[in-house]
Chain A
Amino acid sequence: MSQVDHHQSGISYWRGLEQLSDTPQVRELLAQEFPGYDPTSVVADPGRRQFLKIMGASMALAGLTLTGCRRWPQEHLAPYSANPSGHVPGFPEQYATAWELGGVAHGLLVTSYDGRPIKIEGNPSHPSSWTIKGKQGSADAFAQASILEMYDPERSRLVIERTAADKRGKNSDWEKFDEFATVHFGRMKGQGGGFAILSEATSSPSVLDMRKRLLAVFPQAKWYEYEPLTRDAELEASRQAFGKALRPVYGLDKAKVIVSLDADLLGTHPNHVRYAADWSEGRRSGDRGEMNRVYCAETCFSITGTVADVRLAVDPARIDMLARALASKLGVAGVSGQENLSAGEQKFIEAAAGELNASGGSGVVAVGHAAPVAAHVLAFAINQQIGAVGKTVTLIDDPAGDRPTHVAAITGLAKDMAGGKINTLLILGGNPAYDAPLDADFANALGKVAVSIHLATYDDETSRLCKWHLPRAHYLEAWGDGRSWDGTAGVVQPLIEPLFGGKSAIEVLAMLSADKVTAGDQIVRRTWREQFIKGGGNFERQYRKVLEVGFLEGSQSKPVQAQPKVANLPPAEAAAPAGTFFLKFEPDAHVYDGRFANNGWLQETHEPLSKLVWDNAAVMSVKDANTLGIETGDVIKLEGNNRWIEAAAYVLPGQPVGVIGLSLGYGRTAAGPVGDKLGFNGYTMRTSDRPWIVGGVKVSKTGQDYRLVTASLHHLIDRIGMNGREQRVGGKNQTGVIVREASLSEFKKDPSAPHEKTQGRSSLQLFDPLRYNGPHAWGMAVDLNTCIGCNACVVACQAENNIPVVGKDQAFNHREMHWIRIDRYFKGASDDPQIDVIHQPMLCVHCENAPCEQVCPVAATMHDTEGLNVMVYNRCIGTRYCSNNCPYKVRRFNYFDWHAKPPRKSTGVLWPGMPDSQQLDPKSIDPIRRMQFNPEVTVRMRGVMEKCTYCTQRIQRTKIARRNAGEDVRDGDIITACQQACPTQAIVFGDLRDRSSRVVALQNNPRSYDVLGELNTRPRTRHLAKLRNRDEAQSAPSGQAAAEHHAQGPSSSSPSPSQSPTLG
Chain B
Amino acid sequence: MSESADAAAAASTPPTASAKRFIFPRWANYALPAIAVGVLGGLVYVPVAIGLGFSPKALAVGYAPQQPVPYSHALHAGKLGIDCRYCHTTVEKAPFAALPPTQICMNCHTAIHNTSPRLEPIRQSWATGKPMEWVKVHDLPDYVYFNHSAHVNHGVGCASCHGRIDHMDVVEQVAPLSMGWCLDCHRAPENNLRPKDQVTNLAWRPTDHPLAKERNITDVAKAQELVGNELKKQYGIRDQAYMTSCFTCHR
Chain A positions near chain B (C-beta within 8 angstroms): 69-72, 74-83, 88-91, 773-775, 862, 864-866, 868, 870, 872-874, 936-939, 949, 952-953, 955-956, 960, 963-964
Given A936-B251, A938-B143, A90 and B100 contact (CB-CB distance below 8 Å) = no
List of B residues within 8 angstroms of A78 by Cβ? 131-134
- Say yes or no: B99 contacts A874, CB within 8 Å: no
Q: Is A76 a contact of B149 with CB atoms below 8 Å?
A: no
- CB closest residue in chain A, given B104: A83
B77-115 vs A, Cβ < 8 Å mask (1 yes, 0 no): 000000000000010111110111111000000000000
A71 to B64, CA, bound (A): 13
What is the distance, in angstroms, from B42's C-beta to the closest C-beta of chain A?
16
B94 pairs with A90, CB closer than 8 A: yes
Which residue of the partner chain, among B98, B129, B132, B145, contacts A936 with CB atoms under 8 Å? B145
**Residues on the A chain within 8 Å of B103, using CB:** 80-83
Taking chain A's interface residues, is the majority helix, strand, or loop, or is none over half, making it mixed?
Answer: loop
Report the bound CA distance from A868 to B242 in whole Å: 12
**Known A77-B135, A870-B250, A938-B142; further 13 A-B contacts with Cβ < 8 A:** A70-B54, A77-B99, A77-B134, A79-B101, A79-B102, A81-B125, A81-B129, A91-B90, A774-B239, A873-B250, A955-B247, A956-B251, A964-B92
Residues of A within 8 A of B59 (CB): 70-71
A88 to B242, CA, bound (A): 29
Q: Which residues of B contact A81 (CB under 8 A)?
A: 101-103, 125-126, 128-132
Decide: A90 and B98 in contact? CB cutoff 8 A. yes
Given A90-B90, A873-B250, A964-B153, also A79-B100 (CB < 8 A): yes
What residues of B have a CB within 8 angstroms of the CB of A937 in the complex?
A: 251
Q: Is the CB of A774 within 8 A of B94?
A: no
User: Within the assembled complex, what's the spacing in Å between the Cα atoms of A57 and B143?
Assistant: 28
Contact between B150 and A79 (Cβ–Cβ < 8 Å)?
Answer: no
The chain A residue with its CB closest to the CB of B244 is A865
The answer to whether the Cβ of B26 comes within 8 Å of any Cβ in the partner chain is no
With most chain B CB atoms within 10 A of its CB, the pick from A74, A865, A955 is A865
A-B interface, 7 closest residue pairs, ranked by CB to CB distance from nearest: A90-B96, A78-B131, A864-B245, A89-B98, A79-B99, A75-B136, A80-B101
- A81-B101, A964-B150 as given contacts; A74 in contact with B247, CB under 8 Å: no
Q: Is the CB of A938 within 8 A of B125?
A: no
Interface centre among A71, A866, A937 (most CB of B within 10 A): A71
Q: Which A residues are CB-close (under 8 A) to B6?
A: none
B interface vs A, CB < 8 Å? 50, 54, 59-60, 63, 65, 90, 92-96, 98-103, 125-126, 128-136, 139, 141-143, 145, 147, 149-150, 153-154, 238-239, 241-242, 245-248, 250-251
Asked if A91 and B251 sit within 8 Å, CB to CB, the answer is no
Within the complex, what minimum Cβ distance (angstroms) separates B130 from chain A? 6
Contact check, B141 vs A874: say whether CB atoms are below 8 A apart. yes
Residue of B nearest to A938 (CB): B143
Docked-complex contact A938 and B50, CB < 8 angstroms: no
Contacts of B130 in A (CB 8 A): 81
Contact partner of B241 (CB less than 8 A), chosen from A74, A89, A865, is: A865
| A-B contacts, 29 listed (Cβ < 8 Å) | A71-B60, A72-B139, A74-B135, A75-B136, A78-B131, A79-B100, A79-B131, A79-B132, A81-B128, A81-B132, A82-B102, A83-B101, A88-B98, A90-B96, A774-B241, A775-B238, A864-B246, A864-B247, A865-B245, A866-B242, A866-B245, A870-B247, A870-B250, A874-B141, A874-B143, A936-B251, A938-B143, A956-B147, A963-B153
Knowing A74-B136, A79-B101, A868-B247, say if A956 contacts B125 (CB, 8 Å): no
A862: chain B residues within 8 A (beta carbon): 246
Contacts of B50 in A (CB 8 A): 69
> Which of A74, A79, A862, A938 has the most B CB atoms < 10 Å from its CB?
A79
Asked if A82 and B141 sit within 8 Å, CB to CB, the answer is no
A993, chain B: closest CB distance, angstroms:
13
* CB pair A938 B242 closer than 8 Å: no
B52 to chain A, nearest CB (A): 12
CA A112 – CA B134 in complex, angstroms? 24
B247 CB, min distance to chain A CBs, angstroms = 5
Closest-CB distance, A776 to chain B (whole angstroms): 10
When the two chains form their complex, are residues A873 and B143 in contact, meaning their CB atoms are under 8 A apart? Answer: yes
B102, B147, B250, most chain A CB atoms within 10 A: B250
Assuming the A-B contacts A82-B102, A872-B250, are A75 and B96 also in contact, with contact meaning beta carbons closer than 8 angstroms in the complex? no
Cα distance A68–B158 in the bound complex, in angstroms: 30
- Contact call A82/B60, Cβ cutoff below 8 A: no
User: What chain A residues lie within 8 Å of B239 (beta carbons)?
Assistant: 773-774, 865
| Residue contact A938 to B251, C-beta cutoff 8 Å | yes
Contacts of B54 in A (CB 8 A): 69-70
Residues of B within 8 A of A868 (CB): 247
CB distance from A209 to the nearest CB of B (A): 34
Q: Which residues of A contact B99 (CB under 8 A)?
A: 77, 79
A775 to B251, CA, bound (A): 20
Contact of B93 with A88 in the complex, beta carbons under 8 Å:
yes
**Distance between Cα atoms of A735 and B133 in the complex (Å):** 61
A556 to B: closest C-beta gap in Å? 38
| Distance in Å: Cβ of A884 to nearest Cβ of chain B | 22
The residue among B65, B94, B101, B102 with the most chain A CB atoms within 10 A of its own CB is: B101
On chain B, the residues within 8 Å of A956 by CB distance are 145, 147, 247-248, 251
Chain B residues within an 8 Å CB radius of A936: 145, 251
Closest to A863 in B: B245
A618–chain B nearest beta-carbon distance, Å: 44
Q: Are B135 and A76 in contact (CB under 8 A)?
A: yes
- Give Cα A938 to B60, complex, Å: 22
From residue A37, how far is it (CB to closest CB) to chain B in Å? 29
**Of listed B54, B126, B143, residue having the most chain A CB within 10 A:** B143
Q: Are B247 and A952 in contact (CB under 8 A)?
A: yes
Partner of B98, one of A75, A79, A872: A79
Residues of B within 8 A of A90 (CB): 90, 94-96, 98
By beta carbon, the residue of chain A nearest B98 is: A89
Give the Cβ gap from B237 to chain A, nearest Cβ, in Å. 10
CA distance A81 to B242 in the complex (A): 40
A732 CB → nearest B CB, Å: 42
Which residues of B lie under 8 Å from residue A77 when comparing CB positions?
99, 133-136
Given contacts A70-B59, A862-B246, contact A949 B251 (CB under 8 A): yes
Alpha-carbon distance between A376 and B132 when the two chains are bound, in angstroms: 63
What distance in Å separates the Cβ of A873 from its nearest Cβ neighbour in chain B? 6
What is the bound-complex CA distance between A412 and B24, given in angstroms?
Answer: 98
For the complex, give the distance between the alpha carbons of A746 and B100 in Å.
66
Q: Which residues on the B side are within 8 Å of A83 (C-beta)?
A: 101, 103
A69 to B49 alpha-carbon distance, docked (Å): 12
Closest beta carbon of chain A to B40's beta carbon, Å? 22
**A949 contacts which chain B residues (CB < 8 A)?**
251
**Closest beta carbon of chain A to B99's beta carbon, Å:** 4
Give the residue name and chain of the B residue nearest to A91 (CB).
B94
Residues of A within 8 A of B145 (CB): 936, 953, 956
Given contacts A77-B99, A90-B94, A938-B143, contact A872 B246 (CB under 8 A): yes
Closest Cβ neighbor of B87 among chain A residues: A79
Query: In the assembled complex, how far is the CB of residue B26 from the closest CB belonging to chain A, in whole angstroms?
Result: 36
Q: Say how far A78's CB is from chain B's closest CB, in angstroms.
A: 4
Cα distance, A77 to B147, chains bound together (Å): 17
Known: A81-B130, A868-B247. A774 touches B98 (CB 8 A): no
Minimum CB–CB distance for A679 against chain B, Å: 37
Residues on the B chain within 8 Å of A773, using CB: 239, 241
Alpha-carbon distance A69/B131, docked complex (angstroms): 31
